[in-house]
Structure 1
Amino acid sequence: MRVCLIAEGSYPYVAGGVSSWIHTLMTSMPDTEFVIFAIAAQRKQQGKFKYTLPPNLVRVHEVFLDAHLEEQAKWGKRYNLSPSQKKDLYALVSGDENVNWENLFQLIRSKQFQNVGEFLSSKDYYDIIQYLAKTKYSQVPYTELFWTVSSMILPLFLIIRGEIPEADLYHAVSTGYAGVVGALAKVVHKKPLLLTEHGIYSREREEEIIKANWVKGYFKDLWINYFYTLSSSIYSLSDEVITLFGRNKEIEIELGCDEQKIRIIPNGIEVSDYANVVRTLPEDRIRIGAIVRVVPIKDIKMMIQMFALVEQKLPTAELFIMGPAEEDSEYYDECIQLAEALGIRNIRFTGMVQIKDYLGNLDILLLSSISEGQPLAILEGFACAKPFVCTNVGGCRELIEGRDDLYGPAGFVVPVMQHYEEMASYVLKLCEDHQLRKVMGQNGFNRVSHLYKRSAFIDGYKELYAKLGGAEKWQVSGSNYASSIVKKG
């Protein structure tokens, strides 16, 4: 069986989180062939993989959202679109109605759309934007609206017109662009479609856009509605939808996903993999850690502000922020400057490290994200019996406090964004109480040992793949799997 995993902004370019989940899934199923449809922001990422690709990964198909910059076109063509085609295109850009995705895919992949840029320079497109301007954006400069909508849909149209690798089963690991590709694959190749939603993609984009400087205030709703519209494609066309915890399921239903499609398969790890993680340093100070990428959605600045308060009360405390910083170098620089401005002395940005080399010596772990799914970082910390203080995002409360289980709290949960004083108070409470750290760490260990096993997570997907994907044998050209990797712009 061959499975095409569709990933946006994660594997194989970014380490940790969803990427780790994908890598674990593939390496745990050596008898299944995988293709990765990798969607990345910029062509400069081409071939820059953070992972050693497993032998059963037979192809990486790379697509870049900045490829539209190469499109050139003449102005003024008339496509003579039908009323239903105009309706779907308007629904896509306005967010006012449901899109008939199968009809839209057929239109965009048709011969009349051979040059996407040409359509966006056509009289038909001008008519759609003019109607949008009159009905919803009459007070906005028309040229700004025109170029904003063009920048939204041009990358999408190019993806829709692109190649879709053949497989027995398509498995998107988010909605958004990845979800649209999954929906397109089902329509083009008539194969089953599975969605795993770790965090709620459309909600995450909404949070980013609200805070973003690159989107003018009067266009924020336009962008937000657009991402919700993209998510509707795979909600409507998927055969099954997997999420990681109960609250995510509730949100998916609110967003229009059929409840009958949804089932829960939590993340999982094997605690035995962490059996050799031990303390190697003396307990002469409190060491606090965060397994996290240094990017805005992880709200590292809140963590830094929190630690400034902790260090004032406990000057020997140390904070280790363990994860890649190159993904958003500007944000990383801002974090460094903030730490310096606050006079923090005992903070270390380690970059990518072997987490197991650090976990044994840490006393408390943190997560300050604005949005999450079900963080593997918390499961890893629990496997080493470490208590957590984290924000109330995704499945974090369920992990920390349990969901109708008897294991007890494994840390503390605080509201999201700017609650660094509350987070600091809980961290200090743990710093001052060795027995509390021990009890909460053990509660986390017991919870992950019994409820979040990697074997259960893998078995759940093996069952789904067997049910949906069949068992056709594929032939890979060449003697080495790496020879079949395709790099596509």
Structure 2
Amino acid sequence: MHVCIIVEGTYPYITGGVSSWIQMLIENMPDIQFDVVHLAPWKWTRPFGYKMPKNLKHIYEYLLFSSDFSKKDIAFNERDLVKYVRQLIGLKEERAKFFASILRTAAGKHVDYMLLSKSFWNFLQEIYIRYFHEEGFPGFYWTIIGFVIPILGAIQALPPKADIYHSTTTGYAVLSALSGKYYHGGKLIVTEHGIYHREREIEIIKSTSVPDVYKKPWIEIFKLISETAYAECDALTTLFEKNQIFQFELGADFKKMRVIPNGIDVKKFSSISKVEHDTFNVAMVGRVVPIKDILTGIKAFDALVKEIPNSRLYIIGPTDEDEEYYHRCLELVELLDLGEKVIFTGRANVLKYYGMMDVLLMSSISEGQPLVQLEAMAAGLPVVVTNVGNCPEIALDPDGQSGFVVEPKDYVAMAEKLIILAKDKSLRETFAQNGRKVVSEKYTLEKMIDSYRSLYEEVLGNV
């Protein structure tokens, strides 16, 4: 069996939940040959964040803003492509079906030549006069080009021949995966850790660089891609049931849908020995980037220190992904005079730290189903998490509460929960016991691997 996983800007360069999930998937199915197609806006200069498993045969890298793609057939007739796009815009129903037919025709062909054609120029002028004539034309032109180029780049990023194309998003990655499905005849599985079109919608709405007049069309483009992915895939998985509501809204077929939770090596974390220590130690584990909202976590810790002076905050994770944000965190630590109470470990093995930790704090503003939370629970740590993704359902599991849930950005509430845990060792032990139980029963690596192996066999008709 040959599986090609398609990613956007994550594995193997960026560590984190999706990348760790991919690494575990490949490592634990050594009998399956894997390839990875990595889509990114630029060429990475950093080293891989993971050791490549032996059954990972190739990593193909494509730049979304480049025309340097390999193994494509003849160019797509630009007049036909512009005609199809014009028809697509005019449709009110069955857009996904029509868009899929365009992608099927375009698979394996050059489509970026459209941008240089007179047909496309005339089409742009039509759109401008009809919808955006009150805007300046240069701004309109470059905004549209910015929308279109990565879409064309993703369509042209033809994956190698494989039995299964496994896309990790319903964005640019799935456009590449669909090209593989149509051109080579493979099956398509889509796994959403978060709901891609909703995440992009939130980003676009909040963006200050995208003029308001262009926000709705851009949001609709991402919704169309997701809707097409749901219609054309052979199987659709997500990590938890709440996500399926949003998939249903865009027409996902219940017969194709599965919930496959994340899984971890429970034994590896549950076997960590506790280390005696005199301080109350708080762990924040993950990349030091804005989406993890480390700044709010530091503010919560500052409030904790005022009540429990003998506290320490260990921020365990790489600091080089967004150095500007990392320096903002350092400046806040200095401003709050926290000094040696806050320790940035950089990239590190959490197994070396969990034994001396008392609680995990997650202040993220967006999550799916974080492996960090599951790993900490398996290690016997109570958690304080934000009300995002599947974090609250895990922490407040009906089979045993393992921590507290607060709203994102609410550092006062975070501090209050940390103080409660600092003062109540018995509660910490109860949460720890519950967490171990929930993870060992519901979130094991064995269950996750068995589920994906069965799904691979199912879509290939081997069961």
SS of residue in 1 equivalent to 2:66: helix
- Unaligned 5+ segments in structure 2 are 70-76
Q: Which moved more, 1:96-105 or 1:391-400?
A: 96-105
Partners of 2:335 and 2:201 lie apart in 1 by 30
TM-score (norm 2): 0.91
C-alpha separation in 1, matches of 2:220 and 2:322:
25
Q: State how far apart, in whole Å, the 2-side matches of 1:455 and 1:410 are.
A: 22
Report if the CA contact (8 A) 1:168-1:470 is conserved: no
Spell out, residue by residue over 1:156-176, the C-alpha distance to the aligned partner (whole angstroms, 9 max, x if none). Answer: 212312332011111112221
Which position in structure 1 is the counterpart of 2:254? 259
Whether 1:158 aligns to 2:153 is yes
Count residues with an aligned counterpart: 454
Query: 2:399 is matched with which residue: 399, 406, 413?
Result: 406
Distance in 1 between the 2:295 and 2:213 partners? 27
C-alpha spacing 1:91/1:359, structure 2 compared with 1 (3 Å): farther
Q: What is the Cα deviation at residue 442 of structure 1?
A: 1.1
- Counterpart for residue 20 of structure 1: 20
What corresponds to 1:480 in structure 2? none
Instruction: Output aligned runs, 1:355-366, within 5 Å.
Output: 355-366=350-361
Partner of 1:103: 101
| TM-score normalised by structure 1 residue count | 0.86
Query: 419, 426, 433: which one pairs with 1:435?
Result: 426
Alpha-carbon distance in 2 for matches of 1:156, 1:52 = 30
Q: Provide the C-alpha distance between the structure 2 equivalents of 1:432 and 1:50, rounded to a whole number of angstroms.
A: 38
2-structure distance, mates of 1:109, 1:186: 9
AA aligned opposite 2:41:
A
| Structure 1 residues 128 and 329: CA distance shift in structure 2, 3 A | farther
Q: List aligned pairs for 1:258-277, cutoff 5 A.
A: 258-277=253-272
Aligned equivalents of 2:376, 2:11: Cα separation in 1: 22
Please state if 1:452 is matched with 2:446.
Answer: no
Seen in structure 2, the aligned counterparts of structure 1 residues 395 and 439 have a Cα distance that, compared at 3 Å, is: same
Q: Which amino acid is 1:355 matched to?
A: V
- For residue 40 of structure 1, what is the amino acid of its counterpart? A
Measure how far apart 1:83 and its partner are: 8.0
Give me the whole-angstrom Cα distance separating, in 1, the residues matched to 2:214 and 2:45: 28
Partner of 1:50: 49
Q: Is the 8 A contact 1:68 1:155 kept in 2?
A: no
1:294-443 map, 5 Å? 294-345=288-339, 346-402=341-397, 405-407=398-400, 409-416=401-408, 418-443=409-434
Structure 1 contact 392–413 (Cα < 8 Å) conserved: yes
The reply on whether 1:239 has 2:231 as its aligned counterpart is: no
- 2:82 and 2:119 in contact (8 A); partners too: no
Fraction of identical pairs, as percent? 37
| CA distance in structure 2 between the aligned counterparts of 1:273 and 1:140, rounded to whole angstroms | 58
Cα deviation for residue 447 of structure 1 reads 0.4
Distance in 2 of aligned mates of 1:91 and 1:227: 17
SS in 1 for 2:345: strand
Quick one: distance in 2 between partners of 1:396 and 1:97?
A: 35
Of the two structures, which has the highest relative contact order with CA contacts closer than 8 Å and spacing of 6 or more?
1
- 1:273-325 alpha-carbon deviations (Å, 9 max, x no partner): 1243122242x111001111112222222212222222222222111111112
Whether 1:33 aligns to 2:33 is yes
Deviation at 1:88, TM superposition (A): 5.2
Check whether the contact 2:192–2:237 (CA below 8 A) recurs between aligned residues.
yes
Q: Aligned AA for 2:459?
A: L
SS at match of 1:195: strand
Q: Are the aligned partners of 1:268 and 1:453 in contact in 2 as well (CA < 8 Å)?
A: yes
Q: Is the 8 A contact 1:91 1:99 kept in 2?
A: no
User: 1:41 Cα shift?
Assistant: 2.9
Partner Cα separation in structure 2 for residue 56 and residue 137 of structure 1: 51
Kindly provide the amino acid, as one letter, of the partner of residue 226 in structure 1: I
Q: Superposition RMSD on alpha carbons, in Å?
A: 2.6
- 1:60 maps to which residue? 59
User: For residues 181-233 of structure 1, what are the alpha-carbon distances to aligned partners after superposition, in whole Å with 9 as ceiling and x for unaligned?
Assistant: 12221111121111111111222222333333433344333433332233223
Output the amino acid matched with 1:158. G
SS in 1 for 2:44: helix
Three-state SS of the structure 1 residue aligned to 2:338 is coil
One-letter code aligned to 2:406: V
Alignment partners' CA distance in 1, 2:316 and 2:93: 39
Tell me the distance in 2 between the aligned counterparts of 1:295 and 1:267.
Answer: 22
Residues 1:432 and 1:204: Cα distance change in structure 2 (over 3 Å): same
> How far 1:106 sits from its partner (Å)?
4.7
Kindly indicate whether the alpha-carbon contact (under 8 Å) linking 1:91 and 1:97 is maintained by their aligned counterparts in 2: no
- 1:79: how far off? 4.3
Alpha carbons of 1:83 and 1:333: their partners in 2 closer, same or farther (altered >3 Å)? closer
The one of 133, 143, 161 aligned to 2:138? 143
Report the CA distance shift for 1:58/1:83 in structure 2 as closer, same or farther (over 3 A): closer
Distance 1:165 1:361 in 2: 46
Structure 1: stretches of 5+ with no match in the other structure:
71-77, 472-489
1:383 CA displacement: 0.5
Instruction: Measure, in 1, the Cα distance between the counterparts of 2:203 and 2:403.
Output: 27
- Report the secondary structure of 2:420's partner residue: helix
Give the match for residue 290 of structure 1.
Answer: 284
- 2:2 aligns with 2
Q: What is the correspondence of 1:124-273 to structure 2 with a 5 Å cutoff?
A: 124-273=119-268
